[in-house]
Amino acid sequence: MSWEKSIEELRRRERLAEKMGGEEPVERQRGRGKLTVRERVAFLADPGSFHEIGKIAGKATYSADDELEAFLPSNSVTGRATINGESVAILADDFTVRGGASDASIRGKLIMMIKMAAEYRMPLVQMIDGTGGGGSVKSLEQDPRTYIPETPGWDEIVHGMSQVPFVSLALGPCAGMGAGRVAASHFSVMVKELSQVFVAGPPVAIALGENVTKEELGGWKIQAQNGTVDNVVDTEADAFITARRFLSYLPPSVHDLPERTSPADHPDRKEESLLSIVPTDGKTPYKPRKIIDATVDHGSFFEIGKEWGRGIVAGLARIDGYPVGILAGDPFFLDGAWTADVCDKVTRHMDLCSMFHLPVIHFVDCPGFAVGVKAETAGVTRAGVRAMTAVYQADVPVCSVVIRKAYGLAGSVMMNQSRTKWRYCWPSGDWGSLPMAGGIEAAFRKELAEAEDPDALKEQLYRKFEAIRSPFRTAESFLAEEIIDPRDTRPLLVDFIHHAWRTLEPGVRKVGYRP
Residue 47's domain spans which residues? 4-140+153-249
How far is residue 431's CA from residue 471's CA, in Å, rounded to a whole number? 8
Claim to verify: residue 295 and residue 234 sit in the same structural domain:
no
Claim to verify: residue 230 and residue 91 sit in the same structural domain:
yes
User: Is 279 domain-assigned?
Assistant: yes
The packing angle between helices 37-44 and 236-249, to 10°, is 40
Claim to verify: residue 195 and residue 307 sit in the same structural domain:
no
| Last residue within a domain, chosen from 195, 217, 249 | 249
How far is residue 124's CA from residue 479's CA, in Å, rounded to a whole number? 45
The packing angle between helices 154-161 and 107-119, to 10°, is 20
How far is residue 504's CA from residue 499's CA, in Å, rounded to a whole number? 10
pLDDT at 127 over 90: yes
Mean pLDDT for the chain overall: 92
User: Is 381 domain-assigned?
Assistant: yes
User: Is 512 domain-assigned?
Assistant: no
pLDDT at 86 over 60: yes
Q: What is the pLDDT of residue 511?
A: 86
Among the listed residues 380, 413, 381, the one whose alpha carbon sits nearest the alpha carbon of residue 398: 413
How far is residue 305's CA from residue 195's CA, in Å, rounded to a whole number? 17
Instruction: Describe the chain by its helix, strand, coil percentages, rounded to 5.
Output: 40, 20, 40
Claim to verify: residue 236 and residue 317 sit in the same structural domain:
no
Q: Which residue would you say has higher pLDDT here, 131 or 112?
A: 112
Q: What is the pLDDT of residue 458?
A: 77
**pLDDT band for position 434 (cuts 50, 70, 90):** low
User: Is 145 domain-assigned?
Assistant: no
Q: What is the pLDDT of residue 139?
A: 61
What would the pLDDT profile of 383-423 be if each residue is shown by its tens digit? 999 999 999 999 999 999 999 999 999 999 999 999 999 99
We report the CATH number of the domain holding residue 322 as 3.90.226.10
CA torsion 122→394→412→366, rounded to 10°? 0
Range scoring the smallest mean pLDDT among 121-125, 159-163, 470-474: 470-474
pLDDT mean over 358-372 = 97
Q: What is the pLDDT of residue 90?
A: 98
**pLDDT band for position 250 (cuts 50, 70, 90):** very high
**pLDDT band for position 138 (cuts 50, 70, 90):** low
User: Is 448 domain-assigned?
Assistant: no
Claim to verify: residue 167 and residue 34 sit in the same structural domain:
yes
Claim to verify: residue 319 and residue 415 sit in the same structural domain:
yes
**pLDDT band for position 147 (cuts 50, 70, 90):** confident
Residue 503, exposed/middle/buried by CB under 10 A (0-12, 13-18, 19+)?
exposed
Please tell me the total number of residues recorded for the chain in this structure: 515
Claim to verify: residue 233 and residue 322 sit in the same structural domain:
no
**pLDDT band for position 337 (cuts 50, 70, 90):** very high
pLDDT at 464 over 80: no
Q: What is the DSSP letter of 198?
A: E
Number of independent structural domains in the chain: 2
